[in-house]
Amino acid sequence: MDDEKRLMNNNKENHVANADKEVNAGYVITDRLTVGNSEFVIGQNENAPAKFVTWKCTKGEKNYYWGHYCKDRLTALEDLCNRALDEIHYLKSYKQEKENIEKKAQRVEKKCEPVR
């Protein structure tokens, strides 16, 4: 009977420990970077052929997509950083483009104002 209780307690402890971990497709999420409305994560699964993966998802959601699978952690970490940097560059260029469009619109408005 003591062995049964010990086994049940161990199962409860494992469940609580796993409840704290975020898992996607069998990979435990170990790292996360947020850039704007996007998040990039590393997942690890020691039993998978590719032990590491990086995914992208929308901030606050758990719908991971565009997985890049890697055999080692350093490659996965490099990929995570590169993906985050690509997103930063995209957001900076989008912001610059938006500012240029606004400046052009302001110049057009000034040209169309009546002379008094």
Looking at the chain, the whole-number percentage of residues with pLDDT higher than 90 is 64
Q: Could you tell me which residue, 69 or 15, shows the higher pLDDT?
A: 69
Query: Residue 71: CA atoms inside 13 Å, Cβ hemisphere, count?
Result: 1
Give residue 20's pLDDT.
79
Q: Measured between alpha carbons, how far is 110 from 105 in angstroms, rounded to an integer?
A: 9
Rounded to the nearest integer, the mean pLDDT of the chain is 84
Q: Does residue 41 carry a pLDDT above 60? A: yes
Q: Where are the alpha helices (DSSP H) in the chain?
A: 2-20, 73-112
**pLDDT, tens only, 63-103:** 999 999 999 999 999 999 999 999 999 999 999 988 888 77
Asked whether the beta carbons of 65 and 76 are under 8 A apart, the reply is no
The distance from CA 52 to its chain's CA centroid, rounded to whole angstroms, is 14
- Other residues' Cβ atoms within 10 Å of the Cβ of residue 87: 19
> pLDDT grade, residue 40 (50/70/90)?
very high
